[in-house]
Amino acid sequence: MQTDHLLEPLNTVARQAGAAIMAVYAEMLADNGFEADLKQDGSPVTRADQAAEDLILPVLAQVAPEITVISEENASSHSISAPQCFFLVDPLDGTKEFLKGDGKGSFTVNIALIENGVPVLGVVYAPALDRLFYGNENGAFEVSAAGTRRLQVRDIPADGAVAVASVSHRDQQTNEWLQQQQIEHTVAIGSSLKFCLLAAGEADVYPRFGPTMEWDTGAGDAVLRAAGGYVDLPEGGPFPYGKVEYRNGAFIAGGRFQMK
């Protein structure tokens, strides 16, 4: 399906959700009170998660009422069998990074549209950094204070590929994979920004072996694919969406990086 008509409302509400997140962030920073509740799966949730979701869901219902929404904070949606076309929403991706209050800004708002198991539209907004990324059938773009630019994955640098890895979830399997691929340079960053750094030509590959959910990856995946990159299974083959309970397995995301 053509998705250009969705870009303006989704980009706008992503920014609005980001503003709500930063308002909560400022309050917590002022009170030195970065606290969260724990969900049933043990992951943290804050007032910022819910404030962002409360803004996003009504907009999706308005602009595309016929499309099912699977959202992290709406637990009842996780048991819905994936339809042919659906939205994935993570109102605050990188909650653990948000709770650190360290000023690095490694948290995002994620909105993705999935069609036939493939992410065809993605919006990722990093409110603390004021970097908005989006991608669809017409390419990938970043909007920042410097203006709008088209994104394209880069050629591998002469001094070797740069990998991005999770700040809070890096594991031994990732370390072993990096060693096997002879990658010496890594950047540690949280949330879906890892996909966006690949799309922006600021890194080359993102290996992930630890658990994620589809709403963690869908939007960044769409941006990366629109910039000429890929997200594949480690053994090769496409990385599908619409899995049972929307749980991801391992994947390798990359630009022009080729595994040895």
> pLDDT for 141-165, tens place per residue?
999 999 999 999 999 999 999 999 8
Distance CA 79, CA 246 (A): 9
* Domain at 127, CATH number: 3.30.540.10
Same domain membership, residue 198 and residue 124: no
Q: Does residue 178 sit in the same domain as residue 147?
A: no
Quote the pLDDT of residue 35.
73
Confidence class for position 30, pLDDT limits 50, 70, 90: confident
Domain contains 240 = yes
Q: Is residue 61 part of a domain?
A: yes
Flag whether pLDDT at 39 surpasses 90: no
For residues 30 and 132, state if they share a domain: yes
Res. 130 pLDDT band, cuts 50 70 90: very high
Of the residues 131, 151, 171, the one at which a domain ends:
151
Is pLDDT above 80 for 45? yes
Count of domains forming the chain? 2
Regarding whether 57 and 106 lie in a shared domain, the answer is: yes
Same domain, 54 and 137: yes
Q: Which pLDDT band, with edges at 50, 70 and 90, does 42 fall under?
A: low
Q: Is 138 a member of any domain? A: yes
Q: Are residues 46 and 103 in the same domain?
A: yes
Q: Would you state the pLDDT for residue 101?
A: 84
Q: What percent of the chain is predicted at pLDDT more than 70?
A: 98
Residues 185 and 63 in one domain: no
What does the pLDDT read at residue 168? 63
The CATH number given to whatever domain includes residue 169 is 3.40.190.80
- What is the span of the domain harbouring residue 142? 4-151
Assessment of whether the complete model's pTM goes beyond 0.85:
yes
Q: What is the rounded average pLDDT for all residues in the chain?
A: 94
